[in-house]
Amino acid sequence: MKLLTKLFIFSLLIISPAFVLADNSFPSFPMAFWGTVKINGSPAPTGTVVKAYYGSILAGTVIVQESGIYGYTESTKQKLIVGEGTGFIFFDFADNTNPTLLNCGGEWNPVSFTSGLTVEENLAFHTTGCGSIGGGPVVVGPTETIPPVITLNGGDVTIYQGSTYTDAGATATDNIDGNISANIITTNSVNSNVVGTYTVTYNVSDATGNHATQVTRTVNVLSVPVVSVPSSGGGGGGGGGYTPPPTNPVIPTTQTDGCVSGNLFSTTNGKRCAVITTSAVLVTPTVIPGCDDRKTGFSVITGQSCVGNIGTTVVSNTQTTGQVLGVESFNFTLTLRMGSKGNEVIELQKFLNNAGYSVGTADGKFGAKTKAAVIKFQIANKLKGDGVVGPKVRALLNK
């Protein structure tokens, strides 16, 4: 009986080299693999060495005794025995003509060590695509569960209304698939022509369907600063002054042609200037603000064409109800919107044309151009841009 016990213990040590007895604990039994093995689609030849690793740590070795088979399901036959370790198990091989391991022809099996478990794992190695020593690793076995990670390029963005918004995008990496930035799905609803706060979202999944945590970017679109033109002053009170535009955010443009200190817009092409100063620059009141006495070029305040400008006109502090620069007084009483017609629409169109919000010919028909001009007028005066002339707009028209 003692002889049989010694032989049993000896056989365990021979078959299971990773069998370890820890202090004050039960022994950890090895894990075993069996199955077929192919190289470039053909059965691996006799003598091929199949090895298992935890990263760079060797965990087990077996030599193919029968072409295409490295281990058997029968309990008494050969298997690839793997000792206890942490991390994914990596298989590699060396054939009987090249004893050097073909390190880029292996397979990953995302399974952690399980003491005493026997697993069927059919291996398929590849030696193409990596010079003479093989191709890349292949993911096999149970589904991998680690999601990819998205990294935002830059941060939140603030721009002025009418600017061009170009999204900086994001990158994505996965522990198995690597760089999958090209697979990112971006949802971008930013409308730089409409003031508001927008959210850009970024999503991606890896090849096994793991979804990354969504990443977002906030884009704020601000209205262009309103420049108030100083009045001529007068007996009772001096009138308003120039309100400099904010220094933050910076308009994202490199426009410099026709721009001088204090200009919001170029005098040659109407584009926004790259540099906006905070120093007060007095602007002589004109029918088209920012054109002075010019009848060509563009306004330095609004970017509007100076064609049609009738020259310098001073706004009096004693302006009568409904008076527009160079236009007779008119009192607006009706609610006007798309489809409205009549004399009050004509007076509205005259007002808008002379205030720098062009609607074209004052024909008494409230159409798309008139609505667009009303919206610009509303936004410039910090009102909701709905294109409807209601009580608040009339109050400004009759001021």
Asked if 86 and 44 sit in the same domain, the reply is: yes
Taking only the tens place, the pLDDT of each residue in 25-69 is 555 678 899 999 888 778 989 988 888 887 778 888 999 999 999
Residues 209 and 266 in one domain: no
Q: Are residues 47 and 109 in the same domain?
A: yes
* Domain membership flag for residue 9: no
Residues 98 and 195 in one domain: no
Residue showing tokens 């995302």 = 110
Q: Are residues 338 and 293 part of one domain?
A: no
Total domains in the fold of the chain? 4
Task: Show which of 222, 256, 280 is a domain's final residue.
Answer: 222
Looking at the structure, do residues 215 and 176 belong to the same domain, yes or no?
yes
% of the chain residues with pLDDT over 70: 64
Indicate whether 387 and 399 sit together in one domain. yes
Query: In this structure, what CATH number is given to the domain that contains residue 108?
Result: 2.60.40.1120
For residues 131 and 64, state if they share a domain: yes
Q: Is residue 7 part of a domain?
A: no
Q: Which of 273, 291, 318 is the last residue of a domain?
A: 318
pTM here is 0.31
Determine the structural domain holding residue 326 and report its residue range: 319-399
CATH (domain of 197): 2.60.40.10
**144 lies in some domain:** no
| pLDDT tens digits along 314-354 | 333 333 334 444 445 788 999 999 999 988 999 999 999 98
pLDDT digits (tens, 9 = 90+) for 128-143: 544 443 444 433 334 4
Boundary of a domain, candidates 296, 318, 340: 318
If asked whether residues 301 and 364 sit together in one domain, one would say no
